[in-house]
Amino acid sequence: MKTLTISLSPQQVARLHGAVESGAYASNSEVVRDALRLWEQREEIRLLEINRLKRAYDEGMASGEGREVDAKTLLAELKAEIRRGA
């Protein structure tokens, strides 16, 4: 394993030490590794969401011309769809 030097705020240091002292983690390194795993998972989810949004945008652009609809008309159309079971 590679050793790194990091800077933490006093609050972060207190939380890190608290996690180890409580027995939730065996060492400071274990806390940091767990935090990095969570960050990696969050980044992976973020990238998946960005890709999903890009696909939805592309599908929307490929679906044809848009149209302007006021709120009253939109609500009426949504209610009609619900009644039809769509």
- Tokens coding 30: 């274990």
| Residues 84, 86: Cα–Cα separation, whole Å | 5
| Residues 24, 18: Cα–Cα separation, whole Å | 9
Does residue 84 have a pLDDT over 70? yes
Residue 25 near residue 34, CB atoms below 8 Å: yes
Amino acid symbol at 24: A
- Residues 51-69 have pLDDT tens digits of 999 999 999 999 999 889 9
Mean pLDDT of the 16-38 span: 97
Q: Which residue has the tokens 């609809």?
A: 69
Mean pLDDT of the 23-39 span: 97
> Within 10 A of 47 (CB to CB), how many other CB atoms are there?
10
Query: Would you state the pLDDT for residue 86?
Result: 62
Q: Is the pTM of this model over 0.95?
A: no
